[in-house]
Each structure stands twice: as structure tokens, then as C-alpha cells.
Amino acid sequence: MYENSMEKSLWQEVMATAGVLILAIVVGMFVMNRQKATVMEPLEVHHHAGFQIYENNVLEDFSRLEYMENAPCKPGTTEPEEHTDETVDMHNGVGDVVHVHHADMTWRNVIEYLQERGGLSAHFGDPRFGVPLTGFVNNEEVADILSYPIKSYDSVVMVYGNLGADYMSKLKKAVTVGHIQEAEAQKENCGL
């Protein structure tokens, strides 16, 4: 009787230890997987959208070199020399297609990218200045374009200033999906 219960408690101890070990392994695998996913995420996101920005009724041109993120290839390879830290950027002298490299990017990130390069005034879109900003996504007006997520192949038109009656003619000239696809097919920047 006594021996039996000793055996039983030893068995319980072995089972409990095994249980703790298995739990530790499962938790460890889960944590490692999560860390891996967090590290990999920025590299996995890569999509493109078109945009046009009108300020004072004039279409802005962002095709100059200062708006481009240059990521030269490692010699003889198609690997980027160093990974870009930009969340969104532009390549190959194409001034109306944005490359999105991180998750959860909105059109505010595009405006900030252009502001950092002197392409737009610091108060662009700031409601405190009382200048209206109207945003269209695929010809549909949206309430708050700066908070709107950048989605693959979307074509955005922003009008900063009075919208005017002729805004339909602006929408007709919006970036096409075909143009976005042409831009993303360019590999001069190691596929970025």
C-alpha cells in the first residue's frame, strides 16, 4: 500500500515534469515564431499605388532626383546594397507611383516623404491653415485622405485648395493601373 502510493507519486512527478517541458517547448516555439514574423515583416511588404497632387490648381511634379530613393545593387547582383529604412519611397524617376515597403502605411506617409524632400510645404494638409484638402481614391471622394491606407494599385488624386468645378477633368487624368504596373516592372533599383 505504502510502496504503491510512493510509486504513484513518482509517476505523477514524472508526468508533471514532462508536461512542464512540453509546455516550455510549445511556448518557446511560439515566441520564436512571433519574433521571426516581426523581423521579416518589413521585407515582405512591397506594393505600389499611383497618385497626383494638385496645389493651387497646378499638378505637382515629383519626378526629379531629389524625390527618388536610390538603392544601388551590389555589384553583379540584383540584391540591394543596403536595405532602405524608408516606409514608403519612389524609384527610377517615376514621380506618380509610390512604393510601399512597410505595413499600415497611409497617404500621410507619402505626404511626409515628399515634405522631407522639399516637395510640399510643411503645412500641406494641416487643417489649422484652413485650406481644404480633397482626396479621391479610384475616382471616389474619401473623407480623410491622409488617414486612408495605401492599397495596391489604388489611384489617388489630392486637390489642395478650392476644388473647383473642373475637378472631373483632373480625375480623368489620374494614374492608371497600367502605369503603376509599368513602374513596378522596372528593376533598376534591385526590384525595390
- 170 is a site residue for Zn ion (CB under 5 A): no
Nearer of residues 60 and 184 to Zn ion, judged by Cβ: 184
State the cell numbers at 166: 473642373
Query: Could you tell me which of 105, 84, 191 has the C-alpha nearest to residue 152?
Result: 105
Parallel/antiparallel/unpaired status of strands 47-55 and 155-160: parallel
CA–CA separation, 148 and 45 (whole Å): 17
Q: Give the interface segment with Zn ion, choosing from 18-26, 96-104, 139-147, 150-158 (CB under 5 A).
A: 96-104
Across the strands, what pairs with 49? 98
Q: From the CB of 66, what's the least distance to Zn ion, in Å?
A: 19
- How many residues make contact with Zn ion (CB under 5 A)? 1
Query: Could you tell me which of 104, 161, 99, 98 has the C-alpha nearest to residue 135?
Result: 161
Nearer of residues 60 and 69 to Zn ion, judged by Cβ: 69
Residue nearest Zn ion (C-beta atom): 99
Q: From the CB of 100, what's the least distance to Zn ion, in Å?
A: 8
Query: Could you tell me which of 100, 94, 89, 108 has the C-alpha nearest to residue 44?
Result: 100
* Residue choice 62, 67, 99, 137 for contact with Zn ion (CB under 5 A): 99
- Composition of the chain by helix, strand, coil, percent to 5: 40, 20, 40
Q: Give the interface segment with Zn ion, choosing from 56-64, 81-89, 93-101, 123-131 (CB under 5 A).
A: 93-101
Amino acid letter at 19? G
Q: Give the interface segment with Zn ion, choosing from 80-88, 98-106, 112-120, 170-178 (CB under 5 A).
A: 98-106
Nearer of residues 99 and 170 to Zn ion, judged by Cβ: 99
Q: Give the interface segment with Zn ion, choosing from 33-41, 92-100, 117-125, 137-145 (CB under 5 A).
A: 92-100
Task: Compute how many other C-beta atoms are within 10 angstroms of the C-beta atom of residue 133.
Answer: 20
The binding site for Zn ion (CB under 5 A) comprises 99
